[in-house]
Each structure stands twice: as C-alpha cells, then as structure tokens.
Copies of this chain bind each other. A is one copy, B any other.
C-alpha cells in the first residue's frame, strides 16, 4: 500500500487521521519523564485538556487504550459485588458489561436492539423523541434496580454510531445517589459534553478519536462525588489507581512512565482545537454528520440508527444483493478508502463512515463519491454524484464569506 500513488483515506471511527503538525511533534526527541521540561509540558496539557472536558476537576491521562480508562472507572469507584446498570447499545456496551462481570461487579444489562437505547417492548409506549424515550427507560431501569451504584453509558456507541442523550440521563442520576459514567471515546471533541454542568461523574476518552492523535493515551475525569466514591471503593487496583496518579501530578510528576511522544503531540492537538474554537469544532462535526446522512439518503442507503445519529460517524445499511464484504475490501484495497464495517451481529451488514477528528468537507465528498462508485461497481443502481450533491448543499453552510 505504501507505494501506491495518492493518499489513503482513513474514514474509520478511530484511529482517526493525525495531522502532519501533530506527527512532527510526536517525532521530537524523547525527553526525560522526571525532567522539568516534561513536568511543564504535562501540567500544561493537563490544564488545557480540562477545557475540552469542561471540568474544574483534574483529568488523568494514562498510557493505555480507551479500554484501560474504562477499567480505571470501574476499579476506582466500586467495590466487589456492587450493582451497575448498563444498556446494550452495540458491541462496545456489551464488551464493557463483560468487563464489569470479570472484575467482580453485578452488571444489570438492559437489552437493546443496537439501533437505539433500549428495546421498544421494555417501555410502555415508545415516545416520539428519542431523548424522552431513553430518559424514561433509564428512570424505569433505576426503579427496577434500586441497588444500582452506577449507570454506565456510551455517549456515542462506536459500533453502531448511536448517540445517547447524556444530558437527559444525567438529569436522572444527579438527583440520586447513583454515579453516571460516560464513555466519551467517540464523543469528546465531537460534541459538547460539558461534564461539570451536566453532572457527569466520570468522563472517558481515548487519544485516537476526536483528539486526532495516534492511539496510546486514555483520559478520565471524575466529579467531586466520584472522587468521594474512590475513598470507599475496594475493588483491587494498582496500575489504574487514580488517587496515586493524582498525587503524582500534585507533585509535578506521574505515577508511571507516561507516553511522552504522544503527550508532545497532545499539546499540538489541543492548540489546534483552541485555535479552531471548540464551538466551531462541534459545529463542524455536526455539519459533516448531517452532510453524510443527507448524502447517504440521496444515494438511497438506509441509516442504521436514524433516530439517534452520532456526530462522530454514520452507519449505513448495505442494500440487499450487494456483496458487502467484497465491496468493503474493494473500497479499501483498490480505491484506497477505508471505512469501518459492522461488528458482531452487524458484520457484513453495515458500513460506518466516520467524520471524527481531523476531517473536513472534502473528506466527506470523497467518502460519498467512493461509496457511489463502489456501489455501482457492485451492481447497485446509483446515480453518480447525487449523494455528493446532497452533501454539498449542507457542506456549503461551512463556507467562509466571500
């Protein structure tokens, strides 16, 4: 692949494209992690990352994948046998519930259909607005499981591109003695999740998503009441011990050796987000997502989750009669456009077009044009340019004034 001409388009929901200026910072010579230079770099990024999480509380950075931050959220706030409430919204929510069980928690899973928050039959009447629907479902689930100590939810479920109404869920949990842990892995940097204002108790993300870095860092911030829970929590922990890391940072250091090169890149990533302005970053993600959905609809593709679409990615259902796996490989290996496929029960059934991180209007144009061309090549009746045109009508909103 390295030798083929032209750029390879990576349009998966992480790792996302890393801009050249971040790659250059990552390639700077290594510095000592106990040096004043690193302390100054580390404290700078720890201060600035708070503005992305929108919290006054400390954000902790671990050298780990996002899964590690999930483990940190569990082992630092809970004790063996504690009940946690989770919602089956796709592959990742299923994975996290397996983790909770493996670590000695009682996970109550509210089953779902991988297209929305909960199964329709679980609630009396499906309300029109998805927000109210999930709101009701969470409240009902908490009534049914009064001993739940925490609610775990994916803000944007990466495997299905389903968006959860975190503000509505937070309204329920912050009125009760229940922690709300939010997986913001494909949400932080893509949509506004003001942690402190909403009352989110733990917010998690990874480096290779909205933050535009390669994978290798995970981030977690806790609310004041979550930090109080840390004092009581007795699940065994050491590597992911948040109190130890927080103490280290208070002493201008880190508990374990940090992934220095990625932190060098993080400083540049945060400067880029600051320069664009967070409201503009969110507006861009929203615009690219709407353009992608409009384009897919114009091509004649069905959305997997039309009622709860994520600004990080769009999952489209493959039309019947098209060899999905073959088309996916053709796009990737011959057209050099990599989308994400479906996971687990959705394997071979969907294509996920990501618009997360360092993505602009012409990436959406490219992605939709590639989809049009590949679909027609695989026998689907597609009017070339129709999807792109529909997207362009929305992308035009982002044009600078003349």
Tell me the A residues contacting B by CB distance below 8 Å.
1, 8, 10, 12, 14-18, 23-24, 26-37, 63-68, 70-71, 98-99, 102-104, 206, 208, 214-216, 235-241, 255-262, 332-333, 338, 340
Contacts and interface: CB of A to CB of B under 8 A. Distances in A.
A357 B255 CA distance: 23
A239 B71 contact: yes
Given A206-B257, A236-B103, A236-B104, A215 B338 contact: no
B32 A10 contact: yes
B65 A257 contact: yes
Nearest to A37: B1
The complex is assembled from copies of this chain, and their number is: 2
A313 B238 CA distance: 27
Contacts of A259: 63, 65, 214-216, 259, 262
A258 B215 CA distance: 6
Nearest to A185: B257
A364 B303 CA distance: 63
Contacts of A68: 63-64, 68, 239, 256
Tell me which of A206, A240, A241, A256 has the highest count of chain B C-beta atoms within 10 A of its own C-beta.
Answer: A256
A239 B74 CA distance: 12
Contacts of A70: 239
A391 to B, nearest CB: 23
Q: What does DSSP make chain A's interface, helix, strand, loop or mixed?
A: loop
B261 A214 contact: yes
A175 B208 CA distance: 46
A328 B346 CA distance: 59
Tell me which of A34, A66, A257 has the highest count of chain B C-beta atoms within 10 A of its own C-beta.
Answer: A257
B102 A238 contact: yes
Contacts of A63: 63-65, 68, 215-216, 259
Tell me which of A18, A104, A206, A340 has the highest count of chain B C-beta atoms within 10 A of its own C-beta.
Answer: A18
B32 A23 contact: no
Given A63-B65, A67-B239, A102-B241, A29 B23 contact: yes
A216 B266 CA distance: 14
A30 B15 contact: yes
A66 B15 contact: no
A23 B65 CA distance: 21
Given A64-B63, A241-B102, A260 B30 contact: no
Nearest to A7: B29
A363 B71 CA distance: 41
Contacts of A340: 34
Tell me which of A103, A216, A333 has the highest count of chain B C-beta atoms within 10 A of its own C-beta.
Answer: A216
B12 A102 contact: no
A104 B30 CA distance: 36
A267 to B, nearest CB: 12
A63 B27 CA distance: 18
A228 to B, nearest CB: 20
Given A65-B239, A104-B236, A261-B262, 13 more contacts: A15-B31, A23-B29, A27-B27, A33-B215, A36-B333, A63-B63, A63-B215, A67-B255, A70-B239, A103-B238, A208-B257, A215-B258, A216-B261
